[in-house]
Structure 1
Amino acid sequence: MAGFARETMALAILLFAILACSAELQRFESPAKPDGSLSILVVGDWGRKGQFNQSQVATQMGRIGEELDIDFVVSTGDNFYEDGLTGVDDKAFEESFTDIYTSKSLQKQWYSVLGNHDYRGDVLAQLSPVLRNIDSRWLCLRNFILNAEIVDFFFVDTTPLVESYWTNPEDHHYDWREVAPRENYIPNLLKDLDAALKESTAPWKIVVGHHTMRSVSDHGDTPELLALLLPVLKDNGVDLYVNGHDHCLEHISSKDSPIQYLTSGGGSKAWRGVFTPNSDKLQFFHDGQGFMSLQLTAAAANIVFYDVFGQELYQWSVTKNLHAAE
C-alpha cells in the first residue's frame, strides 16, 4: 500500500505540474462588420521612432486603412528596435508607436506578437497593461486567440522555438522570464495551440507569428518552425501563416497543403538584394518596405501588398471551398 500511495502521490504531483505549465490560450473578440466582412492591415518590424521610412509607411497605412474601413491592425513583431523596451516607462513606446501611427483609421485595436528584438529588452514591459493605459490600442501577449466570427486568429510567440537564441545568443541578452525552461514551454504551447485549433469552428483559421516559416529573403526558412509548428498547422487545416522577421513582403504557397505563407515585415528598415529560393512556390516577393491588407468574408479572402508609397504591388484571392488563386 505504501508503494501504491507513493505512486499515486507522484502522479498527482505530475498532473499538477502539467496543469500549472499549460493554460488555455486567452481569447478576445472582435466582431465582423454587419455585412459579415472583415478588413485588417498587417505590418511588422517597424519600431524605429519614425526612421527608415517608418513614418512614410504609417502614412500610407492610414490612407489605405481609411479606404478599406479596417477593423483592426495586426503587428507581426519586432515592435521596438534594436533591443525592445527598457521598461513600461520607456519613451520609445510612444516615439515608435503612439506618435507615428496617428491617422484616424489606425486608431483601432492593434494585436501584436513579440519578435526576437523585443526579447532583447524587457519583455514583460511589452506585455504589461501599463502600456494599454498609455495607449489603449496596444495589446501584446505571448500566445492568444482573436475570434472575429468568420475567422479565428491564433497569435503564437515563435521566438522561444528558435534554439540558437538560447544556445548561441552572441552579444545579446534574451529575456526568458516566464518562458524558461524551453523544454517545458514548447510542448505545452504546441499542445494548447493544437487543442485551440481543433476547437475552432470558424470558416478561416489564420496563425500569426514573428518568424518566417518559408522565406526567400535574408533569414530564410526557420527550421524549428518547420519541424515543430508546421505539422500542427497542417493537421488542423490552417489557411494562412502570417509573419514578419524578414524585412520584405512575400507570398509563398505550400506545394503539399493549402497553407499560404505571407510575410509582412516591411514596416521600416528593409533589406535589398537577398534572394534564396526554397522548395515551395514563390508567388510574390518585394525586398522593400510596405505592408499588407487582408479582406475576408466567410467565403473568400483577398490579400494585397502595398509599397512604401501606398502603391498596390500584388493582389491574390482565394475562395474557402476551392483554395484557388485568381
Structure 2
Amino acid sequence: MVPSLNNQTMLLSLKLTVIVIGLWFGAAIAELQRFQHPAKADGSLSVLVVGDWGRKGTHNQSEVAVQMGKTADKLNPDFIISTGDNFYEDGLTGTDDPAFAESFTNIYTAPSLQKQWYSVLGNHDYRGDALAQLSPILSQRDSRWFCLRSYVLDAEIVEFFFVDTTPFEDKYFSDPEDSTYDWRGVLPREEYLSNVLKDVDKALRESSANWKIVVGHHTIKSAGQHGNTVELVAKLLPILQANNVDLYINGHDHCLQHISSSDSPLQFLTSGGGSKAWRGDVSWWNPTEMKFYYDGQGYMTLEITQTEVGFTFYDIFGNVLHKWSTHLRSRTIDSAIRREFSLC
C-alpha cells in the first residue's frame, strides 16, 4: 500500500527535525541522510523537474505552473523535483516569510501538483535565511515541501542524489566582509566540501539501483549565461563518472538544455526555466555534444522503468521541445566499450 502524502510528510518531518536541530547547533552529519519514495505499482516512476521559479507568480512563473499542472494530469508524477533558487531574489527572511506561500503554495495549485516536492538550495536561497527552507515548520505550512542540503532519495528502481552545490563556488566566498550569504552549517568550508564529496562518492559506490541520477543547482556543463562551474568540473564530475551516474540535473542557467558527455554515458540536463528566462544568452558548444538548447521558460519530465530512462522538455505552452531515452543494456555496453578504450 502506497502511503498517503500526509503520512509520508509526517515521517519526513520527524527525520528532518532531527537533522535541522543538528544543523542549528553546527553538528556534522556523518553521511548523507536517506529517504524513500515508492514507485508505482508496476515499478515505473514519473517525475516533474522545474528550477529557478520563486518570483511570486511574475516573469511567467504562474503560466509555467499552469502548464505543469496540465502535463501532470497526463503523466501522474510520483513527485516533483526543484533544482533550486526557490525564492528570489534573496531567499526567505524566515519560516514566517509570506513569500513561501506567494511563490509556492499559491502558485502550484493544480490538483495534479499536490505531490511531494524534493528540493535543493540555490545560490539565491543562500542569500536569505537558508535554514528556514530546511525547517520542518515549512512542511507544516505546506505538506508538499521537503528541502535539505544533500541527501539520497531511494525510489526503488532509481536513486536520486541531491547535492548542495552553492558552497563549491569560490566567488561566493571571495569577499570575507560579504555577509550576504547564510553560511551557517557550512563553515569551515573546506571541511564541509570534503565531507560532501566523500559522502556522495560513498553513497554512489554503495548504490545498487538500476539508475543513478544526481541533482544539484549549479551547472557542470552549460552553454548558458553561467557556463561550466569549474569547481564542480574539478571536484564533483570525476566522482559522477567513476560511479556510472546516468544523469546530472541542474538549474542555475535560466534555460532548458541537454548536453551529452563525450567521455562517458553521463547526460547533463538543465531545467532552470521556471520563471525568468535569458533570451539569446547562449554560447557556442560542440554540436556533437549539444543535443538541445532552449533559451525560454519551461520544465522537464522523467519517465523511468527497470530497463529504460527517458526525459522530455516542455515550453511554457506545454509543447514538447525535445525527447531522449536510453535502455539499461545499451548503457551497460557503452560503459564497457569506454572502459576498454581507456585501458588501451
TM-score over 0.5 (shorter chain):
yes
What's the CA shift string for 1:216-249, capped at 9, x where partnerless? 0100110000000001101111000000000000
Question: For residue 243 of structure 1, what is the aligned residue in structure 2?
Answer: 250
Query: For residues 176 and 204 of structure 1, what CA distance do their matches in structure 2 show?
Result: 32
TM-score w.r.t. length of structure 1? 0.91
Supply the distance in 2 between the matched residues of 1:71 and 1:260 (Cα, whole angstroms): 22
Deviant stretches of 4+, over 2 Å: 168-172, 277-280
- How much does 1:277 deviate? 2.6
Aligned position for 1:314: 322
How far apart in 2 are the matches of 1:68 and 1:110?
16
Within 5 A, what are the aligned runs for 1:279-290?
A: 281-290=289-298
Is the CA contact (8 Å cut-off) linking 1:46 and 1:266 kept in structure 2?
Answer: yes
How far apart are residue 61 of structure 1 and its match? 0.4
Deviation of 1:170 after TM superposition, in Å, equals 9.3
| 1:194 and 2:186 are equivalent in the alignment | no
For residue 168 of structure 1, report the CA deviation from its aligned partner. 3.9
Deviations 1:153-192 (A, max 9, x none): 0000000000110114897700000001111111111001
Deviations along 1:226-278, one digit per CA (max 9) or x if unpaired, are: 00000110111100000000000000000000100000000000001112134
Q: Amino acid of the residue matched to residue 180 of structure 1?
A: L
**Cα distance in 2 for residues equivalent to 1:169 and 1:126:** 24
Equivalent of 1:205 in 185, 208, 212 = 212
Q: Distance in 2 between matches of 1:258 and 1:57?
A: 31
Deviation at 1:302, TM superposition (A): 1.6
Letter in structure 1 aligned against 2:319: Q
In terms of mean alpha carbon deviation, does 152-161 or 311-320 score higher? Answer: 311-320
Find the counterpart in structure 1 of residue 64 from structure 2.
57
Q: How many residues align?
A: 306
Kept in 2, the 8 Å contact 1:271–1:287? The answer is yes
1:21: Cα distance to partner?
3.8
**2:337 is equivalent to residue 294 of structure 1:** no
Q: CA separation in 1, counterparts of 2:29 and 2:76?
A: 37
Asked whether the 8 Å contact 1:22–1:189 carries over to 2, the reply is no
1:45, CA displacement in angstroms?
Answer: 0.1
Instruction: Render the CA deviation track for 1:36-85: whole Å, top value 9, x for unaligned.
Output: 11000000000000000000000000110110111000000000000000
Tell me how far apart the structure 2 counterparts of residues 169 and 34 of structure 1 sit (CA, whole Å). Answer: 52
Between the aligned partners of 2:280 and 2:194, the Cα distance in structure 1 is: 37
Structure 2 residue corresponding to 1:134, chosen from 119, 133, 141: 141
Shift of 1:24: 1.5
Aligned position for 2:9: none
Note closer, same or farther for the CA distance 1:293–1:169 as it changes in structure 2 (3 Å cut). Answer: farther
* Distance of 1:169 and 1:83 partners within structure 2: 19
Q: Could you list the runs of 5+ residues in structure 2 that have no partner in the other structure?
A: 1-26, 335-344
Q: Scaled by the length of structure 2, what TM-score is found?
A: 0.87
Aligned residue for 2:229?
222
Give the CA deviation at 1:301.
1.1
For 1:167 and 1:22, locate their aligned partners in 2 and report how far apart those are by CA, in whole Å: 26
> Structure 1 unaligned runs (5+)?
1-19
